Structure 1
Amino acid sequence: MARHNRIPIKSARDIEKMRDAGRVASDVLQELAKAVEPGRTTGEIDKLAATLIAKHESKSAFLGYRGFPGQICISVNEEVVHGIGGSRRIQPGDILKIDVGVVKSGFIGDNATTVPAGDILPETKRLLAATEQSLYEAIAWARPGKRLFDLCGAVEDYVKPLGFTIVRDFVGHGVGRNLHEEPQVPNYRPNGKSPILMPGMTLAIEPMVNAGRPGVRILDDGWTVITEDRQPSAHFEHTVLVTDGEPEILTWRPRETFV
């Protein structure tokens, strides 16, 4: 594995392993999304994740990471990211952010989606649709020769005119043998110099978008991030490979339809 400006460049062998990890992460995420329904607890979804990850002969990339106690991150409504599965029972109209990271053959696949529990408010559908589209706006910049700050800025450029705000305290990241690698991938255009993207870079691009103000805080559990104004937040993520041409989504799944 080579490096460019501290950013790991994956070899052909590394990339094949990352494709495998990405497929597993995507399969697990899609199965968990199907299991979201009113009446179930977030802890039940977390237990299902453990079963599904083991079925794929993989491990959770999150369990035990800096002491995190869950198999996955599962965050409800005003919870932005890093929620812990437990006794909270899913209610009709809730939105659940499910973030799945798996380790397969020494490499990590990382992806997330936001799942409605039954019917949700029209303004919440707009939030989800805008956040998912902003992810694809950013992915379109994951090409050789492009600058990272343009990829990052594409998220805020898309959601801001729609009246939504970006969470600035938490960002995407490089991913590979480690869950968090260089570079940081914020969802806004950072100041200063920006790396040029090169084939072999793998990025976890993950818009976190709020319906209200951008401020967030961490709950007493030391993990769960919530919006300060308790307005809903949405989260979508893919692991993306920069190739010689089109970006390759290593955690590919069908897009959602929020109508």
Structure 2
Amino acid sequence: MTSRDPLLRFEGAARAYGDVLAVAGVTCSIAAGSFVALVGASGSGKSTLLKMVNTLVEPTAGRVLFGGEDVASLHPAHLRRRVGYVFQGIGLFPHMSVAENIAIGPRLTGEKLPDKRIAELLELVELEPAMGSRMPDELSGGQRQRVGVARALAGEPELLLMDEPFGALDPLTRDALGTKVRELHDTLGLTTVMVTHDMAEALLLADRVLVMDAGALVADESPRALLAGAGGEIAQGLVSVPRQQAERLAALEGVGETRR
């Protein structure tokens, strides 16, 4: 792979479940270093497309290339070492300590993660290293999700996949963790693909927004272009939600000023 080649490429990637086409022949490339948001209504195919990258879902047609290689030809454990994965359910093993959860990925490929590295990862996601000895049920939802991010980064991945990572969090925690993830993306030089149903989150965090509808890719734009009206009817329908929310807040502020 040369520096001009995309890190990730979907070539006619499709996935059918019986007669239902969940992903309908998506073709697009994602350059190294970019932060891409996948958005769309529930059932639009965005999570299925994401899961094709680390082979949690196999395409029924087309293929997915990572670093120029078909992911289907790569050993799953080694592929998942190179691809970090964070999802909404967090998925920490309840019988393992925080430190053991963070170290699980490297352990699957025969590597023991040093305690010093675990402490560094906890600090990276703004948790105290002493929390490594705690069990998942002793943590808040936001802390557990931070551990999930640390676990995804443990193998020093080239690519970070995030599937609705902040959906179950309260708005303040969600905003803080989203900002932290974007900061980590920039500092560590990651390539990040994030599925979200929150268009405001996509516009704030991503460099590029891919819009899916009924399994197809219907728009591929920068946040600036989307806010300027690009992307077509479906994309603009999604953009209208945070715009309307901002207008309602502005109206409420006006009412508050009048009441004073």
Q: What TM-score do you get using the length of structure 2 for normalisation?
A: 0.30
Structure of higher CA gyration radius:
2
Structure with the larger helix share: 2
